[in-house]
Amino acid sequence: MKTRMLGTLAVSEIGFGTMSFASTYGQAPDRAESLRVIRGAHDLGVTFFDTAEAYGPWTNEVLVGEALAPIRNEVVIATKFGWDIDPLTGERRPGLNSRPDHIRRVADAMLARLGTDHIDLLYQHRVDPDVPIEDVAGAVKDLIAAGKVRHFGLSEAGAATIRRAHAVQRVSAIQSEYSLWTRDPEPDVLPLCAELGIGFVPWSPLGAGYLTGKIDTATQFAADDFRAHSPRFSQGARDANQRIVDLLAKVAAAKGGTPAQVALAWLLARAPFVVPIFGTRRLDRVAENLGAAQIDLTAQDMARIESEFAGMTVEGLRLPEAVLSLSYR
């Protein structure tokens, strides 16, 4: 697989997000199978793996650390801090916590869970309005100086915040939701990334599975699957948004691919510093998604997709309002 740059950090052009191995999409899968899929992704060319302390909490970092231990020197591991998680019980408390002393403490805990001596890319998971971003960047800068962290990132941050953080410690990557049906980063954040030489990592590039074409109004979600409570996954929204999937399917048929591959290829074609991270529990889906790198969307293809999408309206908020309020601050 080809590589792309997140600032000065080289990664595979498509990365693997491991949140789906936690309980976000219902009951967590079998551990042995999870290890097989994560390691299998590397066998297929992935070198960029994404986790977070909040996934579990904690259990996902342990899983990723175990899966990647035999190949640690061949991969880039990204994780995230920022939620207020009780350091003794692992209970996720309401609100955020990016105080510098908290960042230093959780970084050590992350290293232990991942079983490594450094974190390749450490993100702030959400911007904490109670802590100046300069203090956050300064804390990560100290961790970089200590050799515990190598690169700094922000997730779902606004352009002004990114610029302020970058002035203290170089930001290597911004991670935000981005896909054909979620275009929020385009007006301000993507141009700023291009200006400052920052990589951009789209999460949920397949619309939490919807853009693959394998979800319709008849799909039933378990009560503990976050999509059961997501505005964009209501039956009405799924029905209204079907024509977006139909557009991807039409392009896929012309290109000899699948809707999922076209959705990822669309992101790869947006800018050379864009590195999407998809998530799946199945190794065959990993292989399918990585096939996006072989889908060549020409400038004419991109213009045609844009022209048809311009006549569509995306129904449903991408996240519940309470969660959405934490973005782009």
Cα–Cα distance for residue pair 228/236, rounded to 1 Å: 13
Task: Give the three-state DSSP class for 50.
Answer: strand
Q: In sequence order, what are the residues at sequence separation of 6 or more whose Cβ sits closer than 8 angstroms to the Cβ of residue 137?
A: 152, 164, 165, 166, 168, 169, 171
Positive or negative CA dihedral for 65, 48, 278, 205? positive
Cα–Cα distance for residue pair 111/62, rounded to 1 Å: 10
Catalytic annotation, residues: 55
Nearest to 79 by CA among 36, 133, 32, 15: 15
Question: Which residues lie across from 278 on neighbouring strands?
Answer: 16
Q: What are phi and psi of 8, to 5 degrees?
A: -105, 10
